[in-house]
């Protein structure tokens, strides 16, 4: 099968990757209909996680092999494959299982391929009313929902989203849906106009953003984002870190202590509420799509996704 792989040095599309098999009753094979390139994929090819294999963790597809009840169903899939037996798993924190693999990120092949295998417990049925172009956003939207769940104490307050990229615009919409007064901080006025037109959120150039907000969502994907967030948040406010970046920070953290700021790391989230936010709250995802490219052009798609300001690039294995 076709697959977009990373070997530690370069990304390339191979035509002879082995088709995965449903090796036991707990796993399923999914034919990928659409997959999304995310900043994490770009970080991986910059050295993050030391991953080797088939990239990709955002997808929608249909089950082609596995338990009968699942075959033929259109699905999205949670990306952390937990052991299910360790104390962390038994305590209900499966996304943090210390022996987990993560599709396309850590020791498991991902979804930039014609087929991908994952545990059936990770699958979620996609309601008929959702198009593939919407469902493919469930994984990043779940990560946005996680930020909301982690910051219930700040709900309804003034929230600044740093970074008008794909994830920033999803988190901003989720926060607005729960009643926060959301401003997306952009690098310039032109970017602000884009944000308002694409997803209907308020936007302001970074230098115009009013300081002293209750909550900052750091989604710039840069090491400077946290420093700016510390500058914008009020004492006793909160900062959510959403960027996984391969480079290291050198930062004076004393203001966090002095101002008693709550700093929250935030990664993956639950798919159920993310599907609900697409169906019920009308979170707008399709305006975030820049292009849909055939998987065979995957290496070029990665290069294009890395261009600053590019929104979501989707890969279509069947094209
Ligand atoms: Zn991602
Ligand atoms: Zn475990």
Lowest mean pLDDT among 39-43, 92-96, 167-171, 179-183: 39-43
Give the pairing type, strands 213-218 and 233-241: parallel
- Identify each DSSP E strand in the chain by its residue range: 3-6, 11-14, 27-37, 53-54, 58-65, 74-77, 80-81, 101-103, 107-108, 115-119, 123-125, 158-162, 181-186, 202-205, 213-218, 233-241, 262-265, 289-294, 312-316
Encoded tokens for 204: 């302001």
Q: Does the pLDDT of residue 276 top 60, yes or no? A: yes
> In this predicted model, what pLDDT tens digit does every residue of 22-49 receive, in sequence order?
888 999 999 999 999 998 899 899 887 7
Query: Who surrounds ion ligand 2 at CB < 5 A?
Result: 82-83, 86, 89, 97
Residue 242 and residue 172 in contact, taking contact as beta carbons nearer than 8 Å: no
- What was the pLDDT predicted at 223? 76
- Residue 158 CA to ligand 1 centre (angstroms): 26
> In this predicted model, what pLDDT tens digit does every residue of 219-267 receive, in sequence order?
987 778 999 999 999 999 999 999 766 567 778 889 999 999 999 999 9
Any idea which residue has 């219930």 for tokens? 152
**Would residue 179 be called left, alpha or beta, if left means φ above 0 and alpha means ψ between -120 and 50 degrees?**
left
Cα angle 294, 163, 4 (rounded to 5 degrees) comes to 25
Ligand number, closest to the Cα atom of 102: 1
- Residue 80 CA to ligand 2 centre (angstroms): 10
- Rounded to two decimals, the pTM is 0.94
Any idea which residue has 């370069």 for tokens? 10
How far apart are alpha carbons 195 and 284 in whole angstroms?
12
Could you say which DSSP state residue 285 is in?
A: -
Give the mean model confidence (pLDDT) for residues 276-282.
88
Radius of gyration of the chain (CA): 19
Sheet with 181-186, strands from edge to edge, namely: 202-205, 181-186, 158-162, 213-218, 233-241, 262-265
- Residue 257 CA to ligand 1 centre (angstroms): 31
DSSP SS3 for 21: coil
- Residue with the bigger pLDDT between 251 and 5: it is 5
- What was the pLDDT predicted at 24? 87
- Residue 269 CA to ligand 1 centre (angstroms): 11
- Residue 153 CA to ligand 1 centre (angstroms): 26
- What was the pLDDT predicted at 245? 63
Encoded tokens for 272: 């159920």
- Residue 142 CA to ligand 1 centre (angstroms): 10
- State how far the alpha carbon of 122 is from the alpha carbons of 30, 118, 131, 218, 287, in Å: 12, 7, 20, 28, 27
How far apart are alpha carbons 272 and 232 in whole angstroms?
32
> In this predicted model, what pLDDT tens digit does every residue of 106-148 receive, in sequence order?
999 999 999 999 999 999 999 999 999 999 999 999 999 999 9
Those residues whose C-beta lies under 8 Å from the C-beta of residue 150, and which sit 6 or more positions away, are 240, 264, 266
- Residue 72 CA to ligand 2 centre (angstroms): 29
- Residue 38 CA to ligand 1 centre (angstroms): 5
- Residue 259 CA to ligand 1 centre (angstroms): 32
Give the pairing type, strands 74-77 and 123-125: antiparallel
Residue 215 and residue 242 in contact, taking contact as beta carbons nearer than 8 Å: no
- Residue with the bigger pLDDT between 157 and 223: it is 157
Query: Who surrounds ion ligand 1 at CB < 5 A?
Result: 38, 40
Give the mean model confidence (pLDDT) for residues 46-59.
92
- Residue 150 CA to ligand 2 centre (angstroms): 22
> In this predicted model, what pLDDT tens digit does every residue of 175-220 receive, in sequence order?
999 999 999 999 888 889 999 999 999 999 999 999 999 999 999 8
Q: Does the pLDDT of residue 319 top 70, yes or no? A: yes
How far apart are alpha carbons 29 and 71 in whole angstroms?
9
Could you say which DSSP state residue 293 is in?
A: E
């Amino acid at each position: 099968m076709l697959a977009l792989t990373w070997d530690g040095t370069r990304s390339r599309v191979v035509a002879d990757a082995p088709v995965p098999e449903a090796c036991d009753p707990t796993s399923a094979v999914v034919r990928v209909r659409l997959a999304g390139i995310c900043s994490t994929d770009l970080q991986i090819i910059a050295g993050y996680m030391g991953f080797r294999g088939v990239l990709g963790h955002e997808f929608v597809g249909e089950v082609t092999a596995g338990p009968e009840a699942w075959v033929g169903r259109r699905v999205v899939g949670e990306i952390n494959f937990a052991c299910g037996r360790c104390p962390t798993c038994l305590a209900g924190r499966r996304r943090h299982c210390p022996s987990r693999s993560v599709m396309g990120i850590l020791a498991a092949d991902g979804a930039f391929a014609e087929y991908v295998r994952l545990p059936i417990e990770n699958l979620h049925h996609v309601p008929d009313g959702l198009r593939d172009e919407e469902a493919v956003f469930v994984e990043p939207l779940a990560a946005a929902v996680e930020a909301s769940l982690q910051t219930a104490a700040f709900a309804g307050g003034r929230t600044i989203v740093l970074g008008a990229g794909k994830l920033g615009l999803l988190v901003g919409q989720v926060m607005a849906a729960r009643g926060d007064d959301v401003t997306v901080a952009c690098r310039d006025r032109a970017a602000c106009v884009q944000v308002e037109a694409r997803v209907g959120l308020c936007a302001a150039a970074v230098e115009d953003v009013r300081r002293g907000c209750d909550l900052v969502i750091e989604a710039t994907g840069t090491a400077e984002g946290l420093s700016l967030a510390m500058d914008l948040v009020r004492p006793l406010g909160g900062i959510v870190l959403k960027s996984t970046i391969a480079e290291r920070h050198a930062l004076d953290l004393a203001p966090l202590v002095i101002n008693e700021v709550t700093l929250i790391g935030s990664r993956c989230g639950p798919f159920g509420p993310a599907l609900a936010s697409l169906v019920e709250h009308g979170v707008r995802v399709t305006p975030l799509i820049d292009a849909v490219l055939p998987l065979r052009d995957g290496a070029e798609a990665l290069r294009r996704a890395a261009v600053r300001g590019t929104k979501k690039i989707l890969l279509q294995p069947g094209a």
